[in-house]
Structure 1
Amino acid sequence: MTDTMTKFRFLTIATAALLAGCASSKGPAPTSFDFGPVAAPVAATPAAASFPALVVADVTGPAMLDTDRMYYRLVYANAQQSLPYAYNRWAATPLQLLSQRVKARIAQGGVKVLSTTDATGGVPLLRLEMDEFSQNFASAKESSANISLRASLFRDHKLVDQRTFTHSAPAPSADAAGGASALAAASDAITAGLLAWLATLPPR
């Protein structure tokens, strides 16, 4: 084997090794967040008297909320731009997380929660549409969670009432962990408002 061929072979192997190294080098492993455990209820809410059972449909919303990416907005720089965290993810999509949380909280309020597949005739149906689910930075060191949810109650396929619930909660830290904590708190506050609203609606 000539010196030229030897050098060519060496360069080929070295280049392949370098490319393999670049392909295998990755950033930090993504950190996953959810809403944490559901706190134990103090007592059944008044909504249980009017709605002993309720069909709760899964929350629907924009396509960007049907992914595990965590987004935030730098309101002080560009409020129209939503940016993803590089190494942070949701354990499930925001739509799934909120669906689970709302159903768990409503059940804790004393209402028997049924899925759309378990629905029986005459059981009211609650539909939920999420319009906003975001962590907004007012400055580099201050952010808050914002959730806006539209709730529609149907009975016998007829709309009984509809209301929009909006809540903002301050984040304990200016990062993804703080956003997840604040969004969990906002979700619980939204569900408390839902239960209070249901208690005002007339029973069948």
Structure 2
Amino acid sequence: MKKTILITIAAAAVLAGCASKGPQPTAFDFGPLGPPQQAAGTAALPAIVVADVSGPASLDSQRMFYRLMYADARQSRPYAYNTWAATPLQLMSQRLKSRIAQSGVKVVSTTDSAGGLPLLRLEADEFSQNFDSATQSSASITLRASVFRNHKLVDQRTFTRTARAPSADAAGGASALAEGTDAIAADILSWLASLPQQ
């Protein structure tokens, strides 16, 4: 009886050891903010209220998705062992607000906003890692930005960026999506600077 118990314990230990050598879950974010991105005219921008990015339900989850453009571009597939540290909507919201603030513009939240300040609303239409082949992928991001002043639409523009992933995996996708978000932040800053300030 004792021998059977010892064999069972030894087998369980072996199985536990095998399981620990398998793929380990990994959570990704956008990494450090990095140096400021220059956008002409941002010094003249007033304080601005920046709302959180909104978007489809698939972006309000921490799961990481990708598309095999060469197999079935209509199917979004989840990574088995990789997730985002927060939802893509949260990651984009934080990154865009940080980039705008980093440029010298005062960023105010919707809960603390004062009357008369312009309001920037952002809606994500696309945020995906697309594989053109088994060894090559890129990030594709599309954001629609709207500026309101005194509840009236001032202007609206759609921004799209693609960025080549440095590797054909979740880590490469996270890196490319962070790069694309930073590029859109610079585009938004240039656009905001071009709008009439009154």
TM-score for the superposition, normalised by structure 1: 0.85
Matched to 1:168, the amino acid is T
Secondary structure, counterpart of 1:39 in structure 2: coil
Residue 142 of structure 1 deviates from its aligned partner by: 0.6
Equivalence map 1:95-174=2 (5 Å) = 95-174=89-168
More helix per residue: 1 or 2?
1
Report the RMSD for the aligned CA atoms in angstroms.
1.9
The residue type paired with residue 194 of structure 2 is T
With over 3 angstroms needed to count, the CA separation of the structure-2 counterparts of 1:45 and 1:103, relative to structure 1, is farther
Runs of 4+ displaced beyond 6 Å: none
- Equivalent positions of 1:1-204 (< 5 A) are 28-41=23-36, 45-49=40-44, 51-204=45-198
Q: Which amino acid aligns with 1:131?
A: D
When residues 84 and 46 of structure 1 are mapped into structure 2, their CA distance, relative to the original with a 3 A threshold, is same
**Structure 1 residues 142, 44: closer, same or farther in 2, change over 3 A?**
closer
Mapped partners of 1:188, 1:178: distance in 2: 15
Measured in 2, the distance between the counterparts of 1:42 and 1:191 equals 9
Q: 1:48, CA displacement in angstroms?
A: 3.2
Q: Which amino acid counterpart does residue 114 of structure 1 have in structure 2?
A: V
Query: Is the 8 Å Cα contact of residues 41 and 109 (structure 1) preserved in structure 2?
Result: yes
Task: Give, in angstroms, the shift of residue 43 of structure 1.
Answer: 5.9
| Alpha-carbon separation, structure 2, partners of 1:133 and 1:42 | 21
Displacement, 1:201? 0.4
Q: State how far apart, in whole Å, the 1-side matches of 2:196 and 2:84 are.
A: 38
- Structure number with greater Rg is 1
Contact 1:132 1:146 in 2 (8 A): yes
Return the offset for 1:110: 1.1
Instruction: Tell me what 1:3 maps to.
Output: none
Deviation at 1:40, TM superposition (A): 2.2
Listed one character per residue, the Cα deviations across residues 46-65 of structure 1 (whole Å, up to 9, x for unaligned) are: 1230x220000000000000
Deviations 1:114-145 (A, max 9, x none): 00001000010000000000000000011000
Q: Describe the SS at the equivalent of 2:81.
A: strand
Q: Which runs of 5+ in 1 are unaligned?
A: 1-5
Please state how far the C-alpha of 1:39 moved relative to its aligned partner. Answer: 1.1
CA distance in 2, matches of 1:143, 1:41: 27
Q: Distance in 2 between matches of 1:44 and 1:89?
A: 32
